[in-house]
Amino acid sequence: MGEPRGWWGRKLHRLTAGTNELDAEDLQAAAAAAGAEPMSGCRDRDETCVAGTIQAVTVRARSGAPTLEVDLYDGSGTVTLVFLGRRDIPGLRAGASVKASGRVTLLDGRPSIFNPRYELLPVSSASA
């Protein structure tokens, strides 16, 4: 959706848009401010930097070893961060804000980054 024009257009949009849409727009703005690319633009084999809020943290077994999977959402899409050989990483909890970078690969049709470089971000006022 395009950016509303002018002060009145922005105010009208804020009054008429749904809560989920406004939250998604706030997350996209926070990700852009962190210097990240929109997750909706992530393509297979691209080196990228993404930022967003953790929606889910799951431990799975892959080839007999534990794997921590973190679903990161920025308002435009979701990327799964996959940490091989890990069951837990302190600070990576649902609701936390994270910036991560690495090479995107498609895992079960979903964009994923294996063993990304990451940093915890302060929780934005939009998601608090």
pLDDT along the chain (128 residues), means of 10: 63 68 77 87 93 95 91 94 95 95 93 96 61
Q: What is the pTM of this model?
A: 0.79
CA-based torsion, 124, 18, 3, 28: positive or negative: positive
Residue 43 tokens read as: 């393509």
Alpha-carbon gap, residue 113 to 122, rounded angstroms: 22
What is the C-alpha separation between 38 and 26, in angstroms, rounded? 13
pLDDT (0 to 100) of residue 32: 83
Can you give the pLDDT at residue 64? 85
pLDDT at position 112: 96
Strands (E), 1-128: 47-62, 65-73, 78-84, 97-107, 110-114, 117-121
How high is the pLDDT of residue 8?
72
